[in-house]
Chains A and B, each alone.
Chain A
Amino acid sequence: MSMLSIFNVSGSAASAQSQRLNVVASNLANADTVAGPNGQAYKARQVTFQTELMGQNANDPTAAGVRVSTISEDQTPGRKVHDPKNPSADADGYVTYSNVNAVEEMVNMISASRSYQNNLEVMNTAKSLLLKTIQLGQS
């Protein structure tokens, strides 16, 4: 029953994509936050995927799932806006916003949700094929 591991493979991918969606949601939520009391603004986060072999023997390439290997922070400096009246402004009157690029995050979100849907469809097809296999020779 090699098709049963499709659920492991696609399930791991769907879980990784939902983690990516989660990270995108935090980035978008913090798109307009300014530097806190420690002077550090929110830094955009990015997930990196890695292949994880899920076959019965360790180096079987036909069952390749996905896992999130790292969540890295974008180190580019945040956007600085001159606004001396803002309570968060520094000594020179500049307010540091987070370095989230909202357009990039929206693109990331669409890509993640499409990949998630793809994996769900794969699971649905595998499920209907397996159900038909169970009924083999009965009709």
Chain B
Amino acid sequence: MLNRLTDSLDLQGQALQLRSERQRLIASNIANADTPGYVARDMDFAKTLRAATGTLPAASAMATSHAGHIGAGAPGLSGGVAASDLLYATPSQTSLDRNTVDMDRERASFADNAIKYEATLRFINSNVRTTLSAITGQ
């Protein structure tokens, strides 16, 4: 009964966690815009979220053979995004110091990710409000 209440929150919580990881990743790219030899990284958000929520079998997830088993923490929750999940950006204009940060793209991704983070926050907020009004029954 209780996990039914929180199941929908779990997905949003996981998404929020991954959004904040991506935000940090893009912040690192922007911070290193002038570092020689730095390669920009990004993540495939849909794929990472699917791996984190268990629809896609993640390499580090433990198998559950019984309905009562509690699944081991999804990789997104416990250890953050694995380095192997990160992709490299393809530089559109190469620079002499082998830095592949495209500032226009990073700024756009940063704004996009910030808005989606806020959207996830609102989803959680309204979910909590709906559950609360169901509990109080008014």
Assuming the contacts A61-B83, A136-B125, asked whether A6 and B27 have C-beta atoms less than 8 A apart, the reply is: yes
B residues less than 8 Å from A129 (CB atoms)? 20, 23, 114, 117-118, 121
Is A62 part of the contact surface with B, judged by Cβ < 8 Å?
yes
How far apart sit A10 and B118, CA to CA, in the bound complex (Å)?
20
Is B98 part of the contact surface with A, judged by Cβ < 8 Å?
no
Determine how close the nearest CB of chain A comes to the CB of B49; give it in whole angstroms.
15
A residues less than 8 Å from B30 (CB atoms)? 10, 13, 118-119, 122
Contact between A126 and B125, CB atoms less than 8 A apart: no
* CB interface residues, A 1-29, toward B, < 8 Å: 1-3, 5-6, 9-10, 12-13, 17, 20
Contact between B32 and A64, CB atoms less than 8 A apart: yes
Determine how close the nearest CB of chain B comes to the CB of A50; give it in whole angstroms.
7
Q: Chain A interface residue count: which class?
A: 35 or more
A residues less than 8 Å from B21 (CB atoms)? 2, 62
| Binding site secondary structure of chain A | helix
Contact between B24 and A3, CB atoms less than 8 A apart: yes
Is A104 part of the contact surface with B, judged by Cβ < 8 Å?
no
Is B25 part of the contact surface with A, judged by Cβ < 8 Å?
yes
* CB interface residues, B 108-123, toward A, < 8 Å: 110-111, 114, 117-118, 121
Assuming the contacts A5-B24, A9-B24, A136-B124, asked whether A111 and B34 have C-beta atoms less than 8 A apart, the reply is: yes
Residue A60 contacts which of B83, B111, B124 (CB distance < 8 angstroms)?
B83
Is A38 part of the contact surface with B, judged by Cβ < 8 Å?
no
B residues less than 8 Å from A64 (CB atoms)? 28-29, 31-32, 38
A residues less than 8 Å from B33 (CB atoms)? 115, 118
* CB interface residues, A 123-139, toward B, < 8 Å: 125-126, 129, 132-133, 136-137, 139
B residues less than 8 Å from A139 (CB atoms)? 125
Contact between A49 and B124, CB atoms less than 8 A apart: no
B residues less than 8 Å from A126 (CB atoms)? 23, 27
How far apart sit A20 and B30, CA to CA, in the bound complex (Å)?
16
Is B36 part of the contact surface with A, judged by Cβ < 8 Å?
yes
Residue B36 contacts which of A2, A12, A49, A119 (CB distance < 8 angstroms)?
A49
Known: A12-B31, A55-B80. 10 other contacts (CB 8 A): A2-B17, A49-B35, A62-B21, A62-B24, A65-B31, A66-B31, A115-B34, A122-B27, A133-B121, A139-B125
Residue numbers of A with Cβ under 8 A of B are 1-3, 5-6, 9-10, 12-13, 17, 20, 48-51, 55, 59-66, 111-112, 115, 118-119, 122, 125-126, 129, 132-133, 136-137, 139
